[in-house]
Amino acid sequence: MVKILTKPLKKAFSFPGSVLLIPMFLSAIVNSFFASTILIGDPINSLFDGSGVMTLMFMMLFVSGMQLRIKDLNSLLKEVMVLIVLRILIVVIVYMLFIYLFANQSFFGVYGFTLMIALCSTNPGLFVALVDKYGQSKSLSLFGPLSILPLPAIPLAIYSLKSSVGFDILPLIAILIPFLLGMLVGNLLPTIKEKFKGINPIILFFWGFGIGSKINLLTIFDDVRTGLILVLLYYLLIVIPLYLLERLLLKSNGVLAISSSSIAAVALIIPEMLEINNMSSDLINASINQLAFAVLLTSFITPFILSKFQKKLI
């Protein structure tokens, strides 16, 4: 039995980002079909229901901060400008243009707030898995700044430009603290830094279970057409511009831009946080289903793109 499973498992884990994607998919299956059977108490629950994911994020932020040498800070800031600052600027422009053109109406079933949430989002865990695989390990420190993007704070801030919803800066500070602590330890105690080498894949593997807990496979395919349109818009409006910006401004190969272009599961909780007036629960649920479909699809499309074009990119 073990020999029969070895070959397909080896092939499955050879897929880029599989260390995160396989447990994510397994967790989605468990939470969609077997939650009452599997979720019998901690520590099983903390693995499959997502309650332990923020602890794992703290660990990943700390470890990624340890990888950053002070002398590489200037290079990191350039990458942050392209991947985060310019990305947010693109999202703001697209969202404002969408509201101007369509107001409160949809574009083929995709509403402005859903598109804005998707465009903001990135999966930092998948980013780490991909840049590590494709020889961009020096950019692993980008995990800290990139972790800001999928937080509800950024979409809420952009949404507040056209509404009365407030903006809370504390979640952003909470992300930076473990990252800065890790950077401090890594630079002051390089011997400890060496002991943490190779821990990223372990964290990512267990993090995948927490991400998958947000995906409900029973409802994710309720509106495939609209979900596909959302994914198409995501790649057209985010991936292509970021790829070109990285090539032009950083004179790099585009691996960072593509690796940072997948939607994080935390996006699924944001529609209900926007407090949209006169918005039916059916519309909110439709938005969540569209985002869930996009999370699943971009999680596999982005690694596939890199695997097919790696020779051209690297």
The reported pLDDT for the residue numbered 92 is: 93
Boundaries of every domain in the chain: 19-313
What does the pLDDT average to over 77-83? 80
pLDDT digits (tens, 9 = 90+) for 97-125: 998 898 778 888 898 889 999 999 988 88
Tell me the chain's radius of gyration from C-alpha atoms. Answer: 19
Structural tokens at position 151: 């937080």
On the 0-12 / 13-18 / 19+ scale of CB atoms within 10 A, 86 is: middle
In three-state secondary structure terms, 279 is coil
- Please give the pLDDT value at position 236: 95
The answer, yes or no, to whether residue 14 has pLDDT greater than 70, is: no
Exposure class string for 173-201: b at 16+ Cβ within 10 A, else e: eebbebbeebbebbeeeeeebeebeeebe
Of 2-6, 26-30, 225-229, 288-292, minimum mean pLDDT range = 2-6
Please tell me the least confidently modeled range out of 75-79, 135-139, 199-203, 303-307.
135-139
Q: What is the pLDDT of residues 45-75, one digit of tens each?
A: 787 777 777 788 888 788 878 877 777 777 7
Average pLDDT over residues 82-90: 88
- CB-count exposure of residue 226 (10 Å: 0-12, 13-18, 19+): buried
Q: What is the mean pLDDT of residues 210-232?
A: 83
State pLDDT tens for residues 158-217.
887 766 555 566 767 877 888 889 888 888 888 887 777 778 778 878 888 887 887 788
What is the reported pLDDT for 2? 52
Q: Which residue has the higher pLDDT, 272 or 264?
A: 264
The predicted structure's pLDDT at residue 149: 79
Instruction: Give the tokens for residue 219.
Output: 């409802």
Say which range, 137-141, 197-201, 302-306, has the weakest mean pLDDT.
Answer: 137-141
Could you tell me the pLDDT band of residue 90, with boundaries at 50, 70 and 90?
very high
Q: In this structure, how many other beta carbons lie within 10 angstroms of the beta carbon of residue 13?
A: 11
pLDDT value of residue 124: 83
The CATH topology of domain 19-313 is Na+/H+ antiporter like fold (1.20.1530)
Which amino acid, 171?
P
With beta carbons less than 8 A apart as the criterion, state whether 306 and 131 touch.
no
